[in-house]
Structure 1
Amino acid sequence: MSFDKVQEQRFELKYLINEQKAQNVRHFIKNYLDADEYGITQPQNSYSVHSLYLDSSNLKTYQDTINGNRNRFKIRIRHYGGEDQESVYLEMKRRYDRVITKARAKVPVKKLEEIIYGPLPTMDHLVNQTEEQLRSLQQICRMIREINARPQIHVAYLREAYELEESNAVRITFDRDVTASYTNSLSLRAEQDNPVNVFGKTVILELKFTNRYPHWMNELTQLFHLRLESAAKYVDGVNVLKRKKKIA
């Protein structure tokens, strides 16, 4: 699959719900959104997502979240589990209060190690060789070098996503079966070593929008009595791994 959509700046609202409520919410949102083009061909409209999180040796980006830093970031390599994948996304999500900004660059797998560990990348390190992509890639790599980030945690889950036709200005996702495992390797395989289940059978519902809060989203949250909650896959994954003594 080829994934290249990104909301560069958006608001994110997260809710933890059970499967029955997820089914009811899905029925409601189908009045406004369509299944995204990648899930529409998959069983249950869902596809696997893999994130390899990079952090410093003392887990700075994890600690920033735990400590409630209002301005924080996370760095990850996003891929979709294909054994023959030729490219992946290098991403940095920054949070300024409730606003999320994302820098993302599509890079060849064969150049990934050089990008992470080598000098500041150039246009030759990109799949889509544009000035905008180069700015994003160099911005991410500067932060990698600033905190000496290295692979720490592999997070995997199944995503079911809906969005506006021909636009992702409004997007709703259901994430299920979130697992996390420790790793110190840039390996992009889908399998995980000794993974832990992070949220059990709970479904993570996310409402994402770039501009004005759609009126029907307000109706949705009231109708289903949704309550804003924290659901940070990386941070919660580290917490569970620590509790189970699978990470120091």
Structure 2
Amino acid sequence: MQVAFDSDVTLRSRFECKYIISPASVPAMREFIQPFMAPDRYAARWQDNRYAICSLYLDGQDLGLYQQTVGGEKNRFKLRIRTYDDHPESPVFFEVKRKLNSIVSKHRAALSRDEAAQLLHRGVNGWMEGLPDTAVDDLNNFALYADLTDARPLVRVKYMREAYESRGGDPVRITIDTDLMHAVTLDHDLGHETGRWVTTPVAGTILELKFTERYPEWIADLVRAFGLKQQPVPKYVMSVDHLLLEGREAALTMAGFFLPPRTA
């Protein structure tokens, strides 16, 4: 199994600040962070330090996980299956991303493609012998949340990511995401190219600042220098919103989903 991963996992519990920025400001921002940040160890392998991310999001029939975010619930989570390419030797990551008040935690386990197929078709019982204990715990956690919500595949979300990590000192991670797209996916298709992909409109480039309990002073300087205004940028919700605008409710209804009315 090839080692291919987003080192975001190194900050399993952190604060996240999200912004929409002008694409024209990205070169100056790269220059600003250069003394403090370096391309993460996966991004450094790719041209321009940019790599693809594709996540299959799962939700319950009532789109309860979507509704948690729309409603601004303080304790919420997402279920997703993430890949970084379509290579048969590259891993598949099963992730639970939780938010409790302002703290974000991410737990995930990496499986081979064959192991992922076993999990998707057989569940967690009877085949995980030999996996690391942390992977078993994270997979059991994923399966528990999936069972509690009766989660099933709904949509794939993909984008290009430019990722940086701190050169030293307090752990900090900065990501710059572009080319956001989505595809209605009602099965376990994890492909980056298969299906009907649609651009998800975003009014700029998505910037995320991720850090632990300490907020380095240079991050505050960055926010001031570029006039950054924090806002929610939930890629999964944005994708579902847009597929509903496309008139895809019928496909969701046929697959057993229904969308409760939003509250004002």
TM, length-normalised to structure 1: 0.92
Describe how 1:59-98 pairs up with structure 2 within 5 A: 59-98=63-102
Partner of residue 181, structure 1:
183
Q: CA deviation at 1:230?
A: 1.0
SS of the aligned residue for 1:144 comes to: helix
- Residues 154 and 233 (structure 1), Cα distance of their counterparts in 2 relative to 1, 3 Å cut: same
Q: CA deviation at 1:133?
A: 1.9
TM, length-normalised to structure 2: 0.87
- 2:26 pairs with 1:22: yes
RMSD between superposed Cα atoms in Å: 2.0
For 2:37, give the aligned amino acid.
L
Provide, for residues 196-216 of structure 1, a one-character-per-residue CA deviation record: whole Å limited to 9, x for no partner. 222346110000012201111
- Asked whether the equivalents of residues 4 and 91 of structure 2 are also in contact (C-alpha less than 8 Å), the reply is no
Partner of residue 36, structure 2:
32
Structure 2: how far apart are the matches of 1:96 and 1:181? 28
- Residues 177 and 168 (structure 1), Cα distance of their counterparts in 2 relative to 1, 3 Å cut: farther
Structure 2: how far apart are the matches of 1:81 and 1:170? 25
SS of the aligned residue for 1:111 comes to: helix
| Range with greater deviation from structure 2 (75-84 or 217-226) | 75-84
Partner of residue 228, structure 1:
230
For 1:93, give the aligned amino acid.
K
- Residues 73 and 208 (structure 1), Cα distance of their counterparts in 2 relative to 1, 3 Å cut: same
Q: CA deviation at 1:113?
A: 3.7
Structure 2: gaps spanning 5 or more residues: 253-264
Q: CA deviation at 1:107?
A: 1.5
| Range with greater deviation from structure 2 (16-25 or 224-233) | 16-25
Q: CA deviation at 1:119?
A: 4.0
Structure 2: how far apart are the matches of 1:227 and 1:141? 37
Structure 2: how far apart are the matches of 1:144 and 1:185? 15
For 1:68, give the aligned amino acid.
G
Describe how 1:48-197 pairs up with structure 2 within 5 A: 48-121=52-125, 124=128, 129-165=131-167, 169-197=171-199
Q: CA deviation at 1:27?
A: 1.1
SS of the aligned residue for 1:124 comes to: coil
- Residues 24 and 125 (structure 1), Cα distance of their counterparts in 2 relative to 1, 3 Å cut: farther
Aligned length: 246
